[in-house]
Structure 1
Amino acid sequence: MIKIPEYEMYLRENEISKKTIKNYKNTLEHLERFCAENNITKLDKNAILDYKDFIKDGYPIYETVSKTGRIIPAKKYTVGTYNQKVGGLNAYLNWAGLSNMTLKKQRLQSRAHKEFASYEDYQNILKWLDEETQLLLILIVNTGLRISEVQMIKKKHLYQTSFDIDNKGSIRAIALNSPLKKRLKKFFECMDDEDQVFQRHETTYSRRLKKAAGKSKIKLDRIHPHAFRHLFSVTFLKNGGDSLVLQQLLGHKDSKTTAIYAAMSKDDQIDIFEKINYF
């Protein structure tokens, strides 16, 4: 009913990232299990809508059993995770010629005025990180790369003037400044040219950042890899950078996505009002 092996081959042939393929497969396997447990034998619009209601009403994840035999309670999907599943499902439906069955995503709350890491947070957290994670963080703050893109960098790229990052078919050139290149070359000098320099799973780096945030007395929800891509973006704009240029640097296809970074924080707004004096 669901052509997972054929679809996976299609994704691989089109050089879709391993992470994306894994996410898409997980969604389809989740749908397949839902259909089996509900005696659904045909993938039609009703089946898709039933699955949508299943993941939307509380966003349940099946209970799992740990190695010790303990039942791990079902968690709940966030709106972002729900939308990720819908996006993966829609991609499959379009491929399978079933575009009339695609689903709408839920609206996400704007992140424009949420708290993100400040430059002071960045300076403080560096003191508590191991050198590898320090370099990862410095790299993100200096380039605005996503952590998944950082993990595309190979040792050979450190010896080039620039290198290309290909994310979902969107290719952009990245250049590293000399001091950063020097530190990266020294730290990764024992690797082979084709080796990926940051090899650990992104959850490992995220855990290290959270641990360092705790030691630095920084709010944990402000500290994650994407927060420092955000820091790169707002710093670029504060220093007079153009939002259209930033859109290209970040690899955004839609200018509305980049516009999030142009929104001022509460502190920025207060600072502007305090500087106004028309008396």
Structure 2
Amino acid sequence: MSANSKYFKMNMIDLFLDKIITEKNLSVSSINSYESDLKLLNKYLKQKKTNFLSCNEEILKTWVSFLMMSGLKVSTRIRKISVVKQFFTFIVLENFRNTNPSLNLLLPKNLKSIPRFLSENDITKLLAYMKTNSESFKDLQILILTEVLYATGLRVSELVKLKMSSVSEDFKNLHITGKGNKDRVLPLGEYAQRLLKSYLPHVKLKYNKNKQGDNAQKWLFPNTKSHITRQTYYNKLKSAAIKSNINANNISPHVLRHAFASHMLKNGADLKVIQQLLGHEDISTVEIYTHINIDDTMKALKKHPLSKFDI
């Protein structure tokens, strides 16, 4: 293969990525995964003495078999095959080739595992331990992180990156920048409002002691140089679970997010509203969200187990 031909094959990947960046507003990590998937396929095709423009359905099916024999998770194989199908659809539409060799590639069935589960009693035990041991600012921070996560269902990546300015002046909403840099406004239940009102003075005091400037531009959950990291919070959460006599293998920030959803559903909240609160936006649910209004959301938040608690 000539240098120019090699460049052309790789340039098709760039053209495809430009298209999906424009159309799908994917996160940087998703774009990187797409690029890696296509470059690895290009390498595989090269080993088979073919390329994007000349490969056929049979070659792609051997690639699918290769993925399965490599021991990749089903979810990973689904993503890779899906990306390749999108890519070949693109190069046919752009007239780089006349036929689509990926049309008959089948996506493997993703056997959904049952999520690890935390009962409401487990949550109560965990929060009780944290409240009893929250004298230092760092311990208080872990308590508030946990309570806000369980009260809102935020992704941990969204949670740790909250700024003080993310909280509305009346404490009724959080401004969230989520996956793919998509913004959404999350209404807060009364419990979460009271929680943040009690916590915010502690954060402001910390910044004032450090003689730092405008509080509105500061992290809501600061550490020495930036915001608390996901890994730090994960480790602290595991430690608190062990000390609360909860199986540490059953707890993580994502499990708390799942607990938020499952406990609200158990207490009678509407599933469609829960999907909105979680920030899900796949194709199958986008249309549903257009029919949800703020009143439905606030009613759902009143179903949260924490709404029965006092701070």
Considering the TM-score relative to the shorter chain, is it more than 0.5?
Answer: yes
Q: Counterpart of 1:52 in 2: which secondary structure? A: helix
Q: Which runs of 5+ in 1 are unaligned?
A: 60-76, 259-279
Corresponding pairs, count: 238
For residues 96 and 195 of structure 1, what CA distance do their matches in structure 2 show? 46
Structure 1 position 49 matched with structure 2 position 51: no
Q: Counterpart of 1:138 in 2: which secondary structure? A: helix
For residues 157 and 224 of structure 1, what CA distance do their matches in structure 2 show? 24
Structure 1 position 116 matched with structure 2 position 112: no
Question: Out of 31, 36, 52, which is 1:21 matched to?
Answer: 31
Question: Out of 241, 248, 261, which is 1:233 matched to?
Answer: 261
Aligned CA distance change for structure 1 residues 167 and 79 (closer, same or farther; 3 Å): same
- Where does 1:79-158 land on structure 2 (aligned, <5 Å)? 79-97=74-92, 101=102, 103-111=105-113, 113-125=114-126, 127=129, 130-150=139-159, 153-158=162-167
Higher Cα Rg, which structure = 2
Q: Which runs of 5+ in 2 are unaligned?
A: 1-8, 94-99, 131-137, 208-213, 222-226, 289-311
Aligned CA distance change for structure 1 residues 214 and 95 (closer, same or farther; 3 Å): farther
User: Which residue of the partner structure matches residue 159 of structure 1?
Assistant: 168
- Where does 1:176-187 land on structure 2 (aligned, <5 Å)? 176=188, 177-182=192-197, 185-186=200-201
CA offset at residue 231 of structure 1? 0.8
Asked if the contact 2:44–2:63 (Cα under 8 Å) also holds between the matched residues in 1, the reply is yes
CA offset at residue 179 of structure 1? 2.6
Root-mean-square deviation (Å): 3.8
Asked if the contact 2:126–2:241 (Cα under 8 Å) also holds between the matched residues in 1, the reply is yes
> By percentage of residues, which structure has more helix?
2
TM-score by length of 2: 0.59
> Which range is displaced more, 236-245 or 147-156?
147-156
CA offset at residue 86 of structure 1? 3.1
User: Which residue of the partner structure matches residue 134 of structure 2?
Assistant: none
Q: Counterpart of 1:101 in 2: which secondary structure? A: coil
Asked if the contact 1:206–1:225 (Cα under 8 Å) also holds between the matched residues in 2, the reply is yes
TM-score by length of 1: 0.65
Task: Name the amino acid aligned to 1:5.
Answer: D
